[in-house]
Structure 1
Amino acid sequence: MTTVYRTLELNMISAKDLKDVNIFPQISVYAIVSILGDPLDPQITTHIHCHARRNATWNIPIKFAVKESLVYHNRLSLEIKLISYRKFLPRSTIGKVRIPLLGLLDNSAYAGHPFSYQVRKKRSGKSKGTINLSYKLCDKE
């Protein structure tokens, strides 16, 4: 039996209305994008959007090879963590988004179109802003 992989193509567009986690009015923000449940634990870090205030823009393409059987068994999720970068202070997590890849596959009619997800802090569950991205799950390799 052969292992089938599909390519998940993301476009990390932007983050909007982020809640400030610093005492300073300007924050610098980057994202750590990963596939949870993948034994290889792939992660990609975006560039830092300096002085983003409450909005950050990246507009960068990201690709992951995902094992199709793990997607169909609902074992893989896309996780995006937004991190506030501070030069001389510890970094802090603004919030994160977790999206089951099966949900993206089930909604393939929306592939290629921008959509938004709420960024949330795990403890409070409160919205910390929105992340905007588009995706496409490419044919089997």
Structure 2
Amino acid sequence: MAHRVLELTLVSGHSLMDVNVFNRMEVYTITSVLGDPRTRQRTRTDRDGARHPTWDDTFLFAVPRTAAKASAAGAYLHLLLRTERLFGFDDRDVGEVFIPLADLLACACVGAGPAPRCATYPVRKVHCSEHRGMLTVAYRFGPVVASLPHLHKGLCWDDAVAEVVGYELPSSGQRVMKPQSSRHITKLTRTACICMTPCLFEKSGLFFSPNLKVSSSYPFVSRD
């Protein structure tokens, strides 16, 4: 089924609540679609910003093609902010943000150009409404991509991705194809990947930020 590619940049956090007692916070963010761990992507850890971390890390996600479809599926992005801790203790939750994909897609459909849009969201305590700061993101969408079995052979759709965004698998049962050269741009999750050549993205009108990075814990995007 048709879908769009969301380019999401985790820019920075502001005035986050300090949840550490003995040391400065070192914050990172984990982003997923519908909270599904198979789509989970991690930013680098900010070692210097403490309550005001900066990442500027960019990730890609396959999402429903219209706001109406995203709304019907209840699709959303879940962003969990955590801080690393000393002496091997488990990392601690700072807060979380929920972003309905329908809202992002609705903005993208109203005269959106190639430049990313910026938005700031309140960070809440996990499973609670307590305010814990703000999170700034930037985002943009590629155009609607046609039915996958007819696309360039470098773009494939795995069942894990289809399950996450609520789409049926292509009738051909086509599986993920590994990139044949280092010139591919590759999105990796634990059980799913989308492989696209730079040429395909340029033709689609989706251009990458110059600060596109590799996620340290969950490798997501690489570009040679």
CA contact (8 A) 2:35 2:77 kept: no
- What aligned pairs does 1:54-65 form with structure 2 within 5 A after superposition? 54-65=51-62
TM-score (norm 2): 0.56
1:8 to 2, 6, 9: 6
Give the letter for the 1:121 counterpart. Answer: K
The one-letter code sitting in structure 2 at the alignment partner of 1:79 is H
CA distance 1:37–1:80, shift in 2 (3 Å): closer
What secondary structure sits across from 1:78 in the alignment? strand
Q: Which has the higher strand share?
A: 1
- The residue type equivalent to 1:135 in the other structure is Y
Residues in 2 aligned to 1:37 and 1:97: alpha-carbon distance in whole angstroms: 11
Measure the CA separation in 1 of the matches of 2:101 and 2:118: 16
What's the counterpart of residue 24 of structure 1?
A: 22
Question: Structure 1: any 5+ residue segments left out of the alignment?
Answer: none
Contact 1:7 1:65 in 2 (8 A): yes
Match of 1:50 in 2: 47
Kindly report which structure 2 residues correspond to 1:1-141, keeping only aligned pairs within 5 A, or say none. Answer: 3-36=1-34, 41-68=38-65, 70-88=69-87, 89-108=89-108, 109=110, 112-141=116-145
* Alpha-carbon displacement from aligned partner over 1:30-79 (angstroms, at most 9, x marks no partner): 000110166x8311001111143211000111111124375252421011
Structure number with larger C-alpha Rg = 2
The 1-side partners of 2:116 and 2:22 are apart by: 36
One-letter amino acid matched to 1:102 = A
SS of the aligned residue for 1:102 comes to: helix
In the alignment of these two chains, the number of paired residues is 138
Q: Is the 8 A contact 1:21 1:94 kept in 2?
A: yes
Tell me the CA shift for residue 103 of structure 1. Answer: 1.0
2-side partners of 1:49 and 1:37: how far apart? 23
SS at match of 2:94: strand
Structure 1 CA distance, aligned partners of 2:11 and 2:124? 18
Judge conservation of contact 1:25–1:53 (CA < 8 Å) in 2. Answer: no
Amino acid at match of 2:97: V
